[in-house]
Chains A and B, each alone.
Chain A
Amino acid sequence: GAGVSQSPSNKVTEKGKDVELRCDPISGHTALYWYRQSLGQGLEFLIYFQGNSAPDKSGLPSDRFSAERTGGSVSTLTIQRTQQEDSAVYLCASSLGTGGITGELFFGEGSRLTVL
């Protein structure tokens, strides 16, 4: 597609349920990133993929969070046993090569997660 696509755009869930958030990067972009945007906290790095591997996943806040990427394209962020503090907007970005050096990350509009 023309840009980074994320789904769902909004998700409301009950505490304790599992959720999956999807990211479809720009075609041909080898790098993919997940961030979390909370009110007053800015953007928090979660995980970085290069191809299908995740050389840096040090930002995942707990073992309830996991992510995978398949075919060097689509990525899924999974949050198990959701807690209210997981409520945030989850942003996905992609880039050619190492966007962490060039700075040219392309962001999706995000998935807003609300945990009741």
Chain B
Amino acid sequence: GNSVTQMEGPVTLSEEAFLTINCTYTATGYPSLFWYVQYPGEGLQLLLKATKADDKGSNKGFEATYRKETTSFHLEKGSVQVSDSAVYFCALPRNQAGTALIFGKGTTLSVSS
């Protein structure tokens, strides 16, 4: 099956700082790639996705580019806010049948004002 590795936190930043959370994967074929976010006290929710190589997914100021050459899908945001404090998970299909997603271990982001 496929696998995913993401940088472990916690990541602590000041408001307006630049954010990068690294994610690399191994997969059969070229599956879609995803970032999920879990805000305190809430369920995980899809943040953004990219369905093919060189695609850039974006949402709420976050971006991630599907890099086939480096098998990476790093999450970036140019200027973080306190409200971005959450746990971020990189994800991809578990296998080619797409029976479920597999997730990285999660990266906790804390942003202070």
- Which of the candidate stretches A14-22, A39-47, A60-68, A75-83 sits at the interface with the other chain? A39-47
> A33-B100, A40-B105 in contact; A100/B44 too (CB < 8 A)?
no
List A9-58 residues whose CB lies under 8 Å from chain B: 33, 35, 40-43, 45, 48, 55-56
Q: Does B27 contact A (CB under 8 A)?
A: no
Complex Cα gap A48–B98 (Å): 10
Number of interface residues of B (CB under 8 A): 23
| A-chain residues with CB within 8 Å of residue B103 when the two chains form the complex | 35, 42-43
Q: Which of B91, B97, B106 contacts A103 (CB 8 A)?
A: B91
B102 CB to closest chain A CB (Å) equals 6
Interface flags for B9-30 (1: CB within 8 Å of A; 0: not) read: 0000000000000000000000
Alpha-carbon gap, A109 to B45, bound state (A) = 10
B46 touches A103 (CB 8 A): yes
Interchain CB contact (< 8 A) of A100 among B41, B94, B106? B94
B87-111 vs A, CB cutoff 8 Å, 1 = contact: the mask equals 0010101100111111111100000
- Number of chain A residues whose Cβ lies closer than 8 Å to a Cβ of chain B: 28
In terms of DSSP, what is the predominant structure of the interface of chain B? Answer: loop
Q: Which of B44, B46, B105 contacts A91 (CB 8 A)?
A: B44
Q: Which residues of B contact A (CB under 8 A)?
A: 32, 34, 41-46, 49, 89, 91, 93-94, 97-106
Whether, in the assembled complex, A105 has its beta carbon less than 8 Å from a beta carbon of chain B, the answer is yes
With contact pairs A45-B94, A103-B32 given, residues A109 and B105 touching in the complex (Cβ less than 8 Å): no
Given contact pairs A91-B43, A103-B91, A104-B46, A55 touches B99 in the complex (Cβ within 8 A): yes
Q: Is A113 an interface residue, CB under 8 A from the partner? A: no
> Measured between C-beta atoms, what is the minimum distance from B40 to chain A in Å?
11
Contact at A100–B100, with CB atoms within 8 Å?
yes
| B45: A residues at CB distance < 8 A | 106-107
Contacts of A48 in B (CB 8 A): 99-100
B57 nearest CB neighbor, chain A only: A103
Which residue of A is nearest B35, CB measured? A103
**With A91-B44, A110-B43 given, is the CB distance from A105 to B101 under 8 Å?**
yes
**In the complex, are the beta carbons of B89 and A43 less than 8 A apart?**
yes
